[in-house]
């Protein structure tokens, strides 16, 4: 999964714990820029929160049209 491809898109993310997050990807963080060396995306959620999600915590990402 190439997380950078979701930048600026409205997405639904299914997490490994079975929960889901919907919102707009407003930033992409390269692995070398994260302390844990994992790539991530920052999502402005539909509920108004801003969260960072790491690739290893995601089962799938789908684009909402």
pLDDT digits (tens, 9 = 90+) for 21-35: 999 999 999 999 999
Report strand pairing: 20-29 vs 58-63: unpaired
**Alpha-carbon gap, residue 32 to 15, rounded angstroms:** 23
pTM for the full predicted model = 0.90
- Residues 30-53: tens digit of each pLDDT: 999 999 999 999 999 999 999 999
Q: Which of 56, 16, 14, 11 is nearest to 37 (CA)?
A: 56
Terminal CA-to-CA distance of the chain, rounded, Å? 19
Determine the Cα–Cα distance for residues 49 and 59; give it in Å rounded to an integer. Answer: 21
Indicate the SS3 state at residue 5. helix
């Amino acid at each position: 999964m190439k997380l950078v491809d979701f930048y600026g898109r409205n997405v639904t993310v299914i997490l490994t714990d079975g929960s889901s997050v919907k919102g707009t990807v407003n930033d992409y963080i390269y692995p070398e820029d994260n302390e844990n060396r994992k790539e991530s995306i920052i999502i402005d959620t539909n509920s108004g929160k801003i969260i960072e999600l790491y690739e290893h915590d995601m089962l799938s990402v789908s684009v909402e049209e």
